[in-house]
């Protein structure tokens, strides 16, 4: 059984008052059919509006130009007509300048306009203006931040002089004043006292037995004296 699922044409929603229809008669083929199908799906399902509703736009409506949801824009006849007229006029002037008298040399006929030709040939000097206003100042600021702020101020002054110099000063203070001056001085002085006492008592070590016996006798007398007078 032959089905009826292959119509010869498909009607779409009109666009700006014009009828839009997809035809399958084998005539001229356009690649814009995919856009028409997507537009038809949006018209019937509202999928873009549903997808936009998933997002919360916290921006100030008075300060934005493009919203999350896509709004339909009507065809502007005045803008289209004016653009077409300007394009046709430019084509006509170009034909009058270059079409009737082909260029036989590298000299452009419009160079007779002087400054106007130079200005237009320089593409309104938009690139030069952009470089002077944005690129140049940005490069100057970048060099200033790299050399003056990062290298001179941060690296040389703060890092080397303040931070590293401060650590070096503290290290020298702890090494020379605290460690060598106080700690080593205290223990060196204690060792000197012990050495002085050793030198003093070393004189009693003469090597003679009679001296040692006399020292023992003196010690006994002292002990007995303390024992007798403290009872």
CA distance 113 to 170: 75
Gap between the Cα atoms of 125 and 116, Å rounded: 12
**Helix H or strand E segment including 11:** strand 9-15
**Among candidates 139, 162, 159, which has minimal Cα distance to 151?**
159
Range of lowest pLDDT (104-113, 137-146, 193-202) = 104-113
CB 21 within 8 A of CB 9: yes
Summarize pLDDT for 30-89 with one digit per residue, the tens. 666 667 777 778 778 888 778 878 887 788 878 887 777 666 667 788 989 999 999 999
Banded model confidence at residue 1, pLDDT cuts 50, 70, 90: very low
pLDDT in tens, 91-102: 998 888 777 666
Task: Write the DSSP assignment of 142-208 as a string of letters.
Answer: HHIIIIIIIIIIIIIIIIIIIIIHHHHHHHHIIIIIIIIIIIHHHHHHHHHHHHHHHHHHHTT--S-
pLDDT at residue number 6: 60
pLDDT at 13: 73
Rounded Cα distance, 107 and 71, in Å: 50
Percent of the chain topping pLDDT 90: 15
Q: How far apart are CA 150 and CA 131, in angstroms?
A: 25
In this predicted model, what pLDDT tens digit does every residue of 187-224 receive, in sequence order? 888 888 888 888 887 777 777 777 778 888 888 888 88
pTM, full prediction: 0.37
Quote the pLDDT of residue 7.
Answer: 60
pLDDT at 17 over 50: yes
Domain ranges of the chain: 8-72, 76-121, 130-204
């Amino acid at each position: 059984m032959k089905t009826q699922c292959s119509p010869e044409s498909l009607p779409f929603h009109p666009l700006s008052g014009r009828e839009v229809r997809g035809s399958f008669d084998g005539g001229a083929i356009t690649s814009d059919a995919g856009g028409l199908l997507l537009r038809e799906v949006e018209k019937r399902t509202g999928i873009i509006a549903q997808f936009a509703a998933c997002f919360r736009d916290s921006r100030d409506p008075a300060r934005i130009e493009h919203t999350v949801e896509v709004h339909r824009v009507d065809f502007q006849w005045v803008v289209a007509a004016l653009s077409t007229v300007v394009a046709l006029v430019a084509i006509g002037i170009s034909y009058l300048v270059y079409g009737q008298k082909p260029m036989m040399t590298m000299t452009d006929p419009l160079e007779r306009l002087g400054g106007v030709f130079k200005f237009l040939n320089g593409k309104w000097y938009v690139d030069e203006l952009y470089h002077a206003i944005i690129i140049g100042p940005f490069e100057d600021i970048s060099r200033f931040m790299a050399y003056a702020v990062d290298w001179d101020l941060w690296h040389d002054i703060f890092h080397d002089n303040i931070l590293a110099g401060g650590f070096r000063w503290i290290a020298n203070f702890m090494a020379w004043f605290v460690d060598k001056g106080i700690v080593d001085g205290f223990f060196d002085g204690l060792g000197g006292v012990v050495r002085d006492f050793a030198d003093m008592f070393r004189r009693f070590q003469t090597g003679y037995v009679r001296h040692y016996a006399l020292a023992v006798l003196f010690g006994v007398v002292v002990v007995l004296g303390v024992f007798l007078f403290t009872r």
